[in-house]
């Protein structure tokens, strides 16, 4: 059997969930589940994937999931492990005027960068605002934990709230306004298919319970 090695397009991210393959197209905010496809494709280092199925390689190319020559520079696609701890038992946070101003600023940023924006814009904005590339590898500091606790107290007062995508994106902006950072992780599960996202520092989920995100396999981390 011929093995075909190709490079994923920047828009394409993969997750292997048991015997199934899930593809995320960031540009179109679309997920595709290929049941039983794990034996037909292997992810190598960085962007490279090896196809054991010629037809599947052709389908990926036709869908725009592969880079057209010349290929983009090789990227690192290291995904964090699922969190094993969380911050659900947060301390009661004192609300300072500066924190309220930062929360207002974070929401103002949401009006500019979230509402009506494409998913790819949210991902690009989060990547451009990166403060610390090592944040995903370190557990949350006392100061970061206190910042998350403050956000949790202020969030109910925020108008036009959303679910996990809104909460995580806004918390990321709120953390960065105080010099903190975290990894924005997107995960998937199958049967039934679901997608979810959360913020993570080291092995700790910052805005969700570890047991709730445990069933999700990371597919993208910003």
Tell me what the pLDDT averaged over the chain comes to. 90
Tokens of 59: 């389908």
**Backbone torsions φ then ψ of 29, nearest 5 degrees:** 50, 50
How large is the average pLDDT for residues 103-111? 94
Q: Look at residue 84 and tell me whether its pLDDT is greater than 70.
A: yes
Residue 182 has pLDDT above 90, yes or no: yes
More confident: 75 or 152 = 152
Helix, strand, coil share (%) of the chain residues, nearest 5: 35, 25, 40
pLDDT digits (tens, 9 = 90+) for 183-204: 999 999 999 999 999 999 999 9
Taking the C-alpha atoms of residue 55 and residue 57, their distance in angstroms, rounded to an integer, is 5
pLDDT at 88: 86
Is residue 26 scored above 90 in pLDDT?
A: yes
Predicted model pTM? 0.92
Average pLDDT for residues 55-74, to the nearest whole number? Answer: 82
Q: How far lies 159's CA from each of 73, 99, 155, 169, in Å?
A: 42, 17, 9, 15
3-state secondary structure of 173: helix
Up-side HSE of residue 103: CA atoms within 13 Å toward CB?
A: 20
The torsion of the CA quartet 87, 93, 97, 102, rounded to 10 degrees, works out to 0
pLDDT given at position 94: 73
- Domains of the chain by residue range: 4-63, 85-221
Question: For residue 1, what pLDDT is reported?
Answer: 62
How far, in Å, CA of 196 to CA of 85, rounded? 17
Taking 80 as the threshold, does the pLDDT of residue 92 lie above it? no
Helix axes 142-154, 97-113, angle to 10 degrees: 70
Over residues 96-118, mean pLDDT: 93
The stretch 34-47 carries a mean pLDDT of 89
pLDDT value of position 75: 64
Reading across the β-sheet that carries 48-51, which strands appear in turn?
A: 4-7, 48-51, 41-43
Backbone angles phi, psi at 44, to 5 degrees: -95, -150
What are the DSSP E strand ranges found in 35-143?
41-43, 48-51, 85-86
Predicted confidence at residue 159, as pLDDT, reads: 79
Q: Per mean pLDDT, which range of 23-27, 28-32, 99-103, 135-139 is the poorest?
A: 135-139
Q: Is 8 in contact with 65 (CB distance < 8 Å)?
A: yes
Max mean pLDDT range (29-38, 42-51, 62-71, 128-137):
29-38
Name the pLDDT band for 73 (thresholds 50, 70, 90). Answer: low
**Model pLDDT for residues 154-173, shown as the tens digit of each residue:** 998 887 767 899 999 999 99
Could you give phi then psi for residue 164, rounded to 5 degrees?
-60, -40
């Amino acid at each position: 059997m011929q093995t075909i090695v190709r490079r994923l397009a920047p828009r394409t991210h993969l997750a292997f969930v048991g015997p199934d393959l899930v593809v995320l197209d960031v540009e179109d905010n679309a997920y595709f589940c290929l049941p039983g496809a794990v034996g037909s494709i292997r992810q190598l280092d960085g962007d490279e994937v090896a196809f054991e199925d010629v037809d599947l390689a052709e389908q990926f190319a036709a869908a725009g999931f592969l880079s057209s020559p010349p290929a983009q520079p090789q990227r690192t696609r290291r995904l964090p492990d699922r969190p094993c701890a969380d911050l659900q038992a947060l301390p009661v946070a004192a609300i300072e005027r500066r924190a309220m101003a930062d929360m207002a600023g974070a929401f103002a940023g949401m009006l500019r960068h979230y509402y009506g924006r494409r998913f790819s814009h949210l991902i690009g904005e989060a990547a451009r605002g990166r403060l610390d590339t090592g944040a995903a590898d370190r557990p949350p500091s006392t100061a970061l934990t206190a910042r998350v606790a403050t956000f949790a107290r202020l969030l109910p007062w925020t108008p036009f709230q959303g679910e996990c995508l809104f909460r995580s994106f806004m918390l990321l902006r709120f953390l960065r306004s105080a010099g903190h950072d975290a990894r924005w992780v997107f995960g998937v599960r199958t049967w039934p298919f679901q997608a979810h996202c959360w913020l993570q520092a080291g092995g700790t989920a910052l805005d969700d319970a570890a047991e709730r995100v445990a069933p999700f396999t990371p597919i993208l981390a910003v």
